[in-house]
Amino acid sequence: MKRMFILCALLLPALLLPAVLAGKDVKTLSGKVTDKASGEPLAGVYVLFPDLKQGTITDSDGNYLAQSLPAIVTTVQVSLLGHQTIIEDIDLRVTSHRDFVLLESNASIAEAVVTGITGTELRRDSPSPVALVSARELQESASSNIIDALAGKPGISQITTGGGISKPVIRGLGYNRVLVVHDGIRQEGQQWGDEHGVEVDPQSVGSVEILKGPASLVYGSDAMAGVIVLNDYPVLPRGTISASAGAEYQSNAGLFGYTGDASGNNGGVVWDIRWSQRMAHDYRNASDGFVPGTRFGEKAASGMFGINRSWGWSHLKLSLFQLVPGIAEGERDPETGLLEGPGNGYSPELPFQKVNHFKAVLDNFFIAGEGTVKATLGYQRNGRREFEESAVEPGLDLVLHTLNWNLQYKRQTDSGWRLVGGAAGMFQKSVNAGEEFLIPDYGLGDAGIFVTACREIGEWHVSGGVRGDIRFLHCEPLEARFEDFSRTFGGVTGSIGAIRRLSPKSDLRLNLSRGFRAPNVSELGSNGKHEGTLRYEVGNHGLLSESSWQADLGWDYSSAVVSAETALFANLVQNYIYLERTGGVSEEGDPVFGYTQGNAFLWGGEISVDVHPVERLHFENVLSLVYSRLVARNDYLPFTPAPRLVSNLKYDLVRDGKVLTNSYVAARMEAVAAQDRIHVTGGTETATPGYVLFGLSAGADIRIAGKDALTLMAFADNVFDTVYQSHLSRLKYAGVFNPGRNIGVKILVRI
């Protein structure tokens, strides 16, 4: 830890230097936003500058004024719920007035600014597929955690352990192959474990970007399958203060949730404070009744304090997240066959976990000459304890300290090239503070450097880059359980992609990328019983780094009546690491699993079609397919999602009324095929039958004095109370089924 703080002291001057060199030429942008159909001015339209983290809102006459802007070329995003978003680059050096005309939403593919390999870019300029989840979609979902809210997106699945723990899977790859980015840094919280989720308050997430495919070029190791970027809510316009409070209830697990937020912008001094809490008892289904050990409780607090100026911005973000999930073991009464234990209480029952995650991030963006500098420094502390025999003294007690740093420089040349160069690194220290052990104490350090470029060339948009990474890991000895060993891993990654504008309505996408992942500490050095997984795990010191070659081919079409997207991929993973049953049994009678590796091949894709046959009616269908093989063996990869078809039928009742607005009714069907392509060696996996689920939802905003002051939503999932098992549910190996019917409501009040 001492070395971490010394590094912070050395890096801070470098992070702050661009502020001294930054220019101070202040610009403004003003204009009017009107509706295309009626010609009337639109109030409440958000005019946002994503890179600058600044924005403003149109008044009752549709006028807007953005002040204290830097004299640079930047992106402006004009958005209003129920209308198509406008995104374009604007040269603030020569432009001070710009009017916008918005169209009502139809079936057109939504444009958005996303996190690409060359910094923020338009979604249509990304050669590899990017899925987007807006703040509204997050609000409409009946989820129990942030990953649960994303799992219905094309190509996205989740490995679940009860209701409170979900791990993301992108196109059949999960665990340390999917990187989660929050507050500008990689989320680090012992994510190698099956029952270790993502310690982020879902109420604090303003939108989500899901980068599908190797993103090691920008993010380094652990981004081999893709990246989930959790974005903040936009900073408020100058001179405004806002507050909101929300509550929700879900019937299946008796989930109660509360959140409150207050934010403001006083002359460029910005702040945001939030508190959230959730609690749920054991979930239930028609076969098992209540499932003991699936209850959970969580509390979260976060704050952001910063300053926005013409030279850029600097924000300090602090957050604390506590999760107390149960550990479901699936024990049944030998006479009745029913699951043993209480069901509808909210207090923790043995065994359970207690996770505390603290994070502090200093995030900076500066104008530096003809370019911009992004500099981020973050510290995380993850404490994870498991209570088995006592609610006071933990058995397993892991403490993980992580220091992250990122530095990027971006510049757009006069010839049209956009160039980005950067470096990033991480230091970690993990210690065992309990009496039980699964992984050794270890120290880790890594660093990477990269460069990317993109340009429009006629009807083509081309982009690519290269990166080099190195990682050092040292595991410390502990009696006869863990050995003293060190490993060093390195990798060179890159990508090259192109987009061909076939027509104003259609694009063709091609991308080839190489990914890299170093083995994690569990895969290399674990030796112990993994509570909640029903197994004893043994690591393998000799594992090699994973590397991959993935090819992506995509085509999209968009019109006022229909939009369609096709994204196909083929992914060859060399030295794929997986857990396999050895056939042995531990002293306590648990089956022994060991880590091994071999080459793997995955292929598949997503096809989505959104039809807009009549005004305000959307019929969206999404098919997701993933197939996987171990190349040298007649076997499949574990935890491969089954083929899935999701259909959504949604009708907008009133889009822009005087009292009722953004109102809708919707129906959803999710059809999942049987999964018999399983990892059969050692009886590691079992086949899973197919199933079909149905859901209903409705919602609306209520306006008071011209402002959307109240949001009401209601939903019903699994309306026919179907008994089913997801192939990616870990509880199915204890004979437990997924949750049954769930009815819920949400309310959000804005001041």
How far is C-alpha 183 from the chain's CA centre? 12
E strands of 214-268, at which residues?
226-231, 240-250, 255-266
Q: Determine the pLDDT at residue 27.
A: 85
Q: Determine the pLDDT at residue 20.
A: 45
Chain mean pLDDT for the chain: 88
Q: Determine the pLDDT at residue 371.
A: 87
% of the chain with per-residue pLDDT over 70: 94
Predicted TM-score (pTM) of the model is 0.91
Q: What is the mean pLDDT of the segment spanning 63-83?
A: 84
Q: Is the pLDDT of residue 2 over 60?
A: no
Range with the lowest mean pLDDT among 109-118, 247-256, 702-711, 719-728? 109-118
Q: Shortest CA distance to 291 belongs to which of 236, 343, 362, 333?
A: 343
Q: Is the pLDDT of residue 442 over 50?
A: yes
Q: Determine the pLDDT at residue 9.
A: 45
Q: What is the mean pLDDT of the segment spanning 417-440?
A: 92
Distance CA 26, CA 93 (A): 9
- Of residues 256 and 70, more confidence is placed in 256
Q: What is the mean pLDDT of the segment spanning 719-744?
A: 94
Q: Determine the pLDDT at residue 6.
A: 44
Structural domains of the chain in order of their starting residue, each with its CATH number: 17-115 (2.60.40.1120), 121-238+284-297+306-642 (2.40.170.20)
User: In which band, very low, low, confident or very high, does the pLDDT at 690 lie, cut at 50, 70 and 90?
Assistant: very high
% of the chain with per-residue pLDDT over 90: 55
Q: Determine the pLDDT at residue 453.
A: 93
Q: Is the pLDDT of residue 743 over 90?
A: yes
Q: Determine the pLDDT at residue 7.
A: 46
Q: What is the mean pLDDT of the segment spanning 332-336?
A: 78
Q: Determine the pLDDT at residue 105.
A: 67
Q: Determine the pLDDT at residue 634.
A: 84
Contact 154, 606 (CB under 8 A): yes
Q: Is the pLDDT of residue 101 over 60?
A: yes
Q: What is the mean pLDDT of the segment spanning 8-32?
A: 60
Q: What is the mean pLDDT of the segment spanning 40-56?
A: 86
Distance CA 139, CA 749 (A): 13
User: In which band, very low, low, confident or very high, does the pLDDT at 14 lie, cut at 50, 70 and 90?
Assistant: very low
Q: Look up residue 499 and give its two tokens.
A: 């987009």
Q: Is the pLDDT of residue 418 over 90?
A: no
Range with the lowest mean pLDDT among 79-93, 146-160, 495-509, 559-573? 79-93
Residues 6+ apart with CB under 8 A from 627: 602, 603, 604, 640, 677
Entry field: residues in the chain: 751
Q: What is the mean pLDDT of the segment spanning 333-361?
A: 87
Distance CA 682, CA 638 (A): 12
- Of residues 474 and 658, more confidence is placed in 474
Range with the lowest mean pLDDT among 49-58, 252-261, 448-457, 740-749? 49-58
Identify the helix (H) or strand (E) that includes residue 13. Answer: helix 2-21
Q: Determine the pLDDT at residue 117.
A: 60
Q: Is the pLDDT of residue 107 over 70?
A: no
Question: What is the per-residue pLDDT across 146-201, written as a single tens digit (0 to 9) for each?
Answer: 899 898 889 999 998 887 888 999 999 988 899 999 999 999 988 887 778 899 99
Q: Shortest CA distance to 54 belongs to which of 179, 236, 288?
A: 236
**CA distances to 201, 413, 685 from 625, in Å:** 30, 41, 19
Distance CA 713, CA 248 (A): 9
- Of residues 50 and 420, more confidence is placed in 420
Distance CA 383, CA 378 (A): 17
Question: What is the per-residue pLDDT across 126-156, written as a single tens digit (0 to 9) for each?
Answer: 888 888 888 888 888 888 888 998 988 899 9
Q: Is the pLDDT of residue 503 over 60?
A: yes
Q: Determine the pLDDT at residue 290.
A: 92
- Of residues 114 and 719, more confidence is placed in 719
Q: Is the pLDDT of residue 466 over 70?
A: yes
Q: Shortest CA distance to 308 belongs to which of 11, 8, 26, 21?
A: 26
Q: Is the pLDDT of residue 723 over 60?
A: yes
Q: Determine the pLDDT at residue 59.
A: 87
Question: What is the per-residue pLDDT across 272-310, written as a single tens digit (0 to 9) for each?
Answer: 999 999 999 999 999 999 999 999 999 999 999 999 988
Q: Is the pLDDT of residue 111 over 80?
A: no
Other Cβ atoms within 10 Å of 425 Cβ, number: 20
Q: Determine the pLDDT at residue 413.
A: 83
Range with the lowest mean pLDDT among 21-35, 56-70, 562-576? 21-35
User: In which band, very low, low, confident or very high, does the pLDDT at 511 lie, cut at 50, 70 and 90?
Assistant: very high
